[in-house]
Amino acid sequence: MRLNVNGNTHEVDVEEDMPLLWVLRDELGITGPKYGCGIAQCGACTVHVDGMAVRSCQLAVGDVDGEITTIEGLGTPDALHAVQAAWVEHQVAQCGYCQSGQIMAAAAFLDLNDDPSDEEIDRAMSANLCRCGTYPRIREAVKTAAANLRSA
């Protein structure tokens, strides 16, 4: 099976029903997406497939049709993505459990809505669990990233 991950083509010899998360982590050594709940509820495993946020723990690799982007491929070698930079600026991370999934969810959300209200941010980002409860910082980081993306 051939996968395009973070701009690189990879050949993998796995069963088609293997979750994408395990292919990324165990076969390709890409550890940004995290295993959290295993039932697509927490969001720690969030990646993009053709720009859409998906839960990789429950997505069979055989069902993937498109470009896969993980946290490792979100920015460029020379610059963080606007969401990553805002996460640093607002010191969002505490334990780190949810951060890659939160960032990937925020980036996909901002691709669809570049000027979200607080309520829209809260609604979009509450689908990803943060055990430390940094939701107010997450909201501020998303607002900062949105402003920076609009002005870019």
Q: Which band of pLDDT confidence, cut at 50, 70 and 90, is reported for residue 60?
A: very high
Say whether 72 sits in a helix, a strand or coil: helix
* Structure confidence at residue 36 (pLDDT): 94
The mean per-residue pLDDT over the stretch 70-76 comes to 96
Which one of 1.10.150.120, 1.10.150.570, 3.30.1490.20, 3.40.605.10 gives the CATH number of domain 82-151? 1.10.150.120
Instruction: Dump pLDDT digits (tens) for 9-58.
Output: 999 999 999 999 999 999 999 999 999 999 999 999 999 999 999 999 99
Please state which architecture CATH assigns to domain 2-72: Roll (3.10)
Average of per-residue pLDDT across 109-120: 97
Residue 96 scores a pLDDT above 90: no
Instruction: Please name which of 58, 49, 53, 41 lies closest in space to residue 83, comparing C-alpha atoms.
Output: 53
CATH code 1.10.150.120 region(s) in the chain: 82-151
Q: Which residues contact 35 (CB under 8 A, 6 or more apart)?
A: 21, 25, 44, 45, 57
Question: What is the amino acid identity at position 33?
Answer: P
Nearest to 103 by CA among 123, 77, 124, 133: 124
pLDDT, position 131: 87
The vertex-35 CA angle with 120 and 25, nearest 5°, equals 115
Q: Phi and psi dihedrals of 4, rounded to 5?
A: -105, 110
pLDDT at residue 152 in the model: 86
Task: Give the residue with greater pLDDT, 11 vs 94.
Answer: 11
Mean pLDDT, residues 127-141 taken together: 93
Give the span between the Cα atoms of 19 and 35, in whole angstroms: 11
Q: The whole model's pTM is what?
A: 0.96
The helix or strand, by DSSP H or E, that contains position 124, with its residue range, turns out to be helix 118-125
pLDDT attached to residue 28 = 98
What's the whole-number average pLDDT of the chain?
A: 96
> Region 72-91: what's the mean pLDDT?
96
Percent of the chain with pLDDT over 90: 93
pLDDT of residue 111: 97
